[in-house]
A and B are shown apart, each in its own frame.
Chain A
Amino acid sequence: MQPHIIILTIVGLAFIPEVIWIFQLFRSKAQEGNLPKVTLRINIVVFVLGLVLIGLAVVYDVNYLHYKSPIEYKDWKQITWSDFRAIKRPYHTLEGNQTFAYIVSDIDVTESDGQVAVRTYFHPSRSYTYSEESAGQDLLQHELYHLHITEYIAREIRKEYSTYKSDDRSENFVNAYLQREDILQAKYDQETAHGIPLGKQRSWQNRIDSCLSSLEEYSVSVVKPK
């Protein structure tokens, strides 16, 4: 039996006595004219049930049951399939195809003491592979190049920050770069068909590698604006 069905069954069973109790109380107290108190109790039970079910939904977005902190880009070589820890969604497919993985990466920009730290992170507890049989090295390469694209955009942001004067810095360009990243990630998936034709995949890998090399001087996370 799949884990999510077990969890749902346990949650359901845990609330059966509560529901029976409410109905019994409702029936007896309503006749006594004490409806508001019973309704308030129902509200409290519904509130708790809502919180429990939201907790269940959260686990599908961030797997807190098997959590691992985000991994910074400098440690990308250590990423393996065992780091893809999120819980797969039961009917999630890629246009009907079940041999795929899902990687989540992001760029974190923090400013302090006149310096800007632009860091790229891979999120293990938000990333997953759909099928363990499909989790080969080629697919891992494809997913890691999503992370390299994020780092390429982070380097562009660092470059932009390094040319800005600290008094006229604007944060608008960060959002523009993040939008550019979304477009680039989508184009990468579209043109490589999620890494299936190896020729296309290799061509994109070379392209991303050369983009990263061209911005090698911005590979350090912390930037000091002029």
Chain B
Amino acid sequence: MQPGKVSDTTILTTGILAWLLLAFASLKLSVIYAKNPTLAYLLAYNISSFIFLIYFIGYFKTRFTFKYLVLLVTAYNAGINVLHLIYNKLFLLASPPAEFKQIFTSCVLNIPLMVITWALLRWFIYRKI
């Protein structure tokens, strides 16, 4: 790598960390401000993951292979869980009731959603999967 150049790894690492923080913040705020927190959480979880995916597809374009997708899906779902654990440990006395169930449901719905989004985008934009 040439001096002053930014590598793909740096973009991926900083991008994942930054978007995970923003996604986590939007999840916390959606639960606080929404009239229906359960639905708001589910929507915020999946919309955030969609933006997260679009951002990286936009950057990597045709280089965004299935390997990257697996990395992002894992990083997103595991990352949100880890952030919840850290947040609860730092700011809450105990995990909110039914939190695990809520995260688990969101994860289960999110994985196929991200895979389908990736496949559709590649198909429509680049005509290849």
Contact = CB atoms under 8 A, between A and B. Distances in A.
A, B bound: yes
Interface of A: 4, 35-37, 39-40, 43-44, 46-47, 49-54, 56-58, 60-62, 89-91, 104, 106, 123, 126
B93 A36 contact: no
Interface stretch (B28-36, B65-73, B98-106, B108-116): B28-36
A36 B25 CA distance: 25
Given A62-B91, A91-B34, A104-B93, A50 B14 contact: no
Nearest to B37: A91
Interface of B: 5-8, 10-11, 14-15, 17-26, 28-29, 32-35, 59, 87, 91-94
Contacts of B91: 58, 61-62
Nearest to B6: A36
B15 A57 contact: no
A54 B32 contact: no
A44 B13 CA distance: 11
A60 B21 contact: no
A43 B14 CA distance: 6
Q: Is the interface of A mostly helix, strand, loop or mixed?
A: helix
Contacts, number: 81
B5 A36 contact: yes
B93 A50 contact: no
Given A36-B8, A106-B94, 20 more contacts: A36-B6, A36-B11, A39-B11, A40-B6, A43-B11, A43-B15, A46-B18, A46-B22, A47-B14, A47-B17, A50-B18, A50-B23, A50-B25, A51-B21, A52-B25, A54-B24, A54-B25, A57-B32, A58-B91, A60-B32
Contacts of A56: 25, 29
30 contacts: A36-B6, A36-B10, A37-B6, A40-B11, A43-B11, A46-B15, A46-B22, A47-B18, A49-B22, A49-B25, A50-B19, A50-B21, A50-B23, A50-B25, A51-B21, A53-B22, A53-B25, A53-B26, A53-B28, A53-B29, A57-B25, A57-B28, A57-B29, A89-B32, A90-B33, A91-B34, A91-B35, A104-B93, A106-B93, A126-B93
